[in-house]
Structures are given as C-alpha cells and as structure tokens.
Amino acid sequence: MNRFASNPIDRRQVTLFRPTLEESIGLDHPVRLYDEILANCQWASWESQYCLAAGQPPIHPQIMASIILYGLGRGIRSSRVLEYMCCNSMDYIWLAQGHRPDHSTFCKFRNQFDKELKGLFRQIAQVAIDMKLASLAIVGLDGSRIRANSSRHSTASQKTIEENLKEIDTQIEKIFAEIDQNDTHGQDLFGQGSPSKLPAELADLKSRQERLNKALEAVKKKTDKADGKSKKTPHVPVTDPEATILPNKEGGYAPNYTVFATTESNSGFIMDAEVIIGGDESRQTLETVDRIEESFGEKPEILTADRAFSSGENLAGLEERDVVAYMPQFNRPDQTNNPANREDPSEPVPSEAWDKLPRDTQSKKLHRMAFVFDETANCYYCPMGRKLNHIGKHTKPRKHGNAAYQAYRSNDCSKCELSEQCLNGKKLPRSVCREQHEELREAMDVRMASAAGKKIYRQRNWIAETPFAIIKDIMNVRQFLTREINKVRTEWLWTCSSFNLAKLVRLVAALRAETAKNAG
C-alpha cells in the first residue's frame, strides 16, 4: 500500500477537459479586486497614445498598468521579475490574461504615460472619496528623501568635470582622425557592421560626453546660486546631475530627491504626490493645496505639517485659501503656561514666575514671546512692565526673499533685575522685532496650545508618516530606478498609485466580507 498521495495530474497526460485560467484563481483572491477596480477606470487617454497603423497589436494599457501596480503592491519593482511572474505565477498570468510582456515593454510603458498616470491616480483616490473611505477634512503633508539612482561616490566639481570633458574631446578627435585615415586607404572601419552606426568605442565616449555636459550645466547653476556664500565647492552626481547631495537618515551624504505625500486622515489615502530637486520643503505647502483642489474640486479643510512648512508666507497663503493649518513653528515656545500673558502688561511678572518665562532655545535668553504686544499703543511691554517703543521698519533676507519687520526698543534697561537673563552680552537696551506675519503666528500658537489643536496635531505622525514607512519597508522603495526629475516623478506617482490601490483593495474586501457576514 502506497503511503503517499497520488499525483492529481500526470505531466504527460493529454486531457480533454482542463481547468480554465479563471478557475485557477480563487474567488476571494485580491488580484480579482485589482482587476475589477482598474476595469472601471477610464483608459481612453491611454489608448489614444497608441499608433495602431502598423506592426503587432499592442497589449491594452489597462493590462500593463494592472501588472505594474499589482507588482508594486507586493514589493516587485524590477521589470525582469515582472516578466518572469507573467510567465510563471498564476495570479500574474490571470491578470495579464495570458500575455507575456518582456522587461523592455514594461520599462517603456512605465515612462511613457506620465500625464495619463496622473489621471489614474486621481481616479483611484476619487473612488475612495465616493465610497466615503477617504475625506479631505484633515490632511497631513510630509516630505522624505529617497536615494537617486547614482552612487554617493560618483560626484564631481566643475573643475573635475571640465578636465574630464577635455580628455574625452581629445579621445574623440583621435578616433575621428583614425577614421579619416582609414577612409583614405579605402578601409571599412566598421567591418561587417552598418556604416550608419558609430563604433562602440566612439558611441560610449559620446554618451559619456553628453552625461558630463549635463553635469557641467548643473554644477554651473549651483556655483552661480552659491555666489561665494559657501566655502564648499559645489559638487553634482555625474550619473544623475539633477539629484542633490543631501544627508541621509541612514548616515552620511548621498544623491537624493525629496518626495512628498499628502495623506488624508480617514483611511490614510495619498491625495497628492510630488518630487522636487533639493531639500526646500516649505514651498510645497501652497502648491499641494492648489493641486488637491484642481484634482478633486475641493480644498482640504485642515492641513497638518511639521515646522519645516510653517513659513510666514505659507501661513498667509493658507489663510487666503481658507485652510486651517496646524503646524509647530521654529523657536516658538509653548504658550500654554506663559506668565507673560498677564491682564495688565504694564505690571511686572511676579518673581516666582520668572523661571517659567519662555527662553530662546539657542541663546537661552528671554524669548520675544516673553514680551507682550499692545496693538492699540503699537508697543511691547517687557516682563518687568517697561515699554518698548516702535523705532522703525526693517527688512531681513530670507531664503525666498526679504521679510519685513517692525522694530521696538526699550528706552532704558538699567537696574533691571532680569537683565542678565534678557540682554545678550552688550548691555544695550533690549529690542524686539515683529514680523509682518506675526498675527498669523500668534493665532497658530493659540490653535496649537488648545486641547482640540493638540488632539489634531497628534494625528499627524500616523497620517503623514505611515505612507513613507510602508513605501520604504513593504514596497522596497528606498532608491529610485530611473534618473532625471521627470522620470523620477513618474516613478513616484506609480508608487503612490499602487499604495492607494492596495489600500482600496483591502478596504473593499473587508467591506464585502462584513456585508456577507451580516447577510448570512
């Protein structure tokens, strides 16, 4: 008696009736929901990009996009692995409906439909909104860094790039001289190859020359922008000059792109995705709100973000757009128990409360939040009740232009018991500057100090940072596969679209399971 189970199918047996491809995938397999959701999306704009006049008929874009998004949701980014899965894994074979696209087809497809992909991203998010799974009531904006497809060691300065270019120019001239000499003697330099193609050695030099020229252009822009402000010589990654050398959380410096995701608080869907060159995050705040309104026809009601986004210009722009912001501000102490906020600012703060007065995190001296502004008299009162009168308007340079300030100064700080804790070094009268957006900052302080504000901002960590954790750890996106900003933006949009689609599939499956349970 055989102790082991017999094989259900003999490999050499010819069967009259065989299981269909449809029967090979379980009814509750998630790949079915992927196909169902994407089948209900609009693909007309994708289809219009194909020229069907000649050649083999192309695979429908829905099938290609479905395979890429399904693979990304399972941490598969490689086009060669996708090619293998479409030939050997039953769920991919089912999704591809028997098509076997090769890796080059996947690569070309992923970079070809950047505009159409934006529309698909909106459609997936809109489905979540229509199903009440997503909402724009509260959104969290955050940025992160993802390594560029370039080695941290292959960076060069302008001088090095120019020297390399000269060397390549010399080699190219030498090769062309040899070609002319061979042609003179009637020799065919290309052997059996086509004379319309460059020799392999020359083609490689031309490719390197083009890459170095792009790097030279990028490093010149950085040099002009620095304009002697920094002692360090600007360097750029030669492989991908548009990437920026930035510090990494993993340690050290490397070429990076800064990516953004704006996530809604209901289920954690990404409502906006962007990639920028460099690390200037604050400028994305208003652009993000405008893109969300353009995509979905409505603005977020509440926007939460960290202090990197809380510039005065952003606060003013959000106020104009009627979006309530919850953002901590740089070097502004918590105002919850500030003893300087007293009923009569002309009276001194009690000495037992001096230790509770807000301090500057850098100088450790009394912060200007320890001074109370009197809008009616247009003056400040110090913690000892002395008046600081208006002395004029000033401007200070900022990253995105000059900022306007109103300056206030005390007439006399002599014999003040708090002078050691208030004045910096020189025993001059204390002065305080009031920025043009100070009213908005004060309103932000009040919101952040309130119980409701603290509750809303506590949600920011899991709202805004969870997508990056999943994308990096589960979807294995720690370094881009493509180069140049436009291709990187497309790759990031594929990633965020897959993130949303995978979340939508899980939520729809859970809803259907609950409905079936209640019906049973």
What pLDDT score does 321 carry? Answer: 94
pLDDT band (50, 70, 90) for residue 192:
very low
Q: Is the pLDDT of residue 272 over 80?
A: yes
What pLDDT score does 485 carry? Answer: 92
Q: Kindly report, residue by residue over 331-380, the tens digit of the pLDDT.
A: 787 777 888 888 899 999 998 999 999 988 888 889 988 999 998 899 99
> In 185-263, where does DSSP find H-type helix?
200-226
What pLDDT score does 220 carry? Answer: 64
pLDDT band (50, 70, 90) for residue 210:
low
What pLDDT score does 194 carry? Answer: 46
What pLDDT score does 182 carry? Answer: 60
Look up residue 42 and give its DSSP letter: -
Domain locations in the chain as residue ranges = 30-134+490-519, 156-237, 351-437
Among 38-47, 56-65, 68-77, 158-167, the minimum mean pLDDT is found in 158-167
Look up residue 60 and give its DSSP letter: P
Which tokens is 375 given? 């809008």
Q: Is the pLDDT of residue 96 over 60?
A: yes
251 burial type by CB count under 10 A (0-12 exposed, 13-18 middle, 19+ buried): exposed
pLDDT, average across residues 466-490: 93
CB 463 within 8 A of CB 140: yes
Q: Kindly report, residue by residue over 409-468, the tens digit of the pLDDT.
A: 998 888 888 888 888 876 678 999 998 888 999 899 889 888 899 999 998 988 999 999
pLDDT, average across residues 4-26: 74
pLDDT, average across residues 32-57: 87
SS (H, E, C) 408-450: EEECCCCCCCCHHHHCCCCCCCCEEEEECCHHHHHHHHHHHHC
Among 39-53, 310-324, 474-488, the minimum mean pLDDT is found in 39-53
Radius of gyration from C-alpha coordinates of the chain:
31
Highest mean predicted confidence (pLDDT) among 93-102, 189-198, 398-407: 93-102
Q: Is the pLDDT of residue 203 over 50?
A: yes
Spatial distance between the Cα atoms of 273 and 503, rounded to a whole number of angstroms = 16
Highest mean predicted confidence (pLDDT) among 87-101, 192-206, 226-240: 87-101
Percentage with pLDDT > 70 across the chain: 80
Which tokens is 59 given? 């695979």
Q: Is 6 helix (H, G, I), strand (E, B) or coil?
A: coil
What pLDDT score does 189 carry? Answer: 45
What pLDDT score does 271 carry? Answer: 96
Among 26-30, 246-250, 261-265, 286-290, the minimum mean pLDDT is found in 246-250
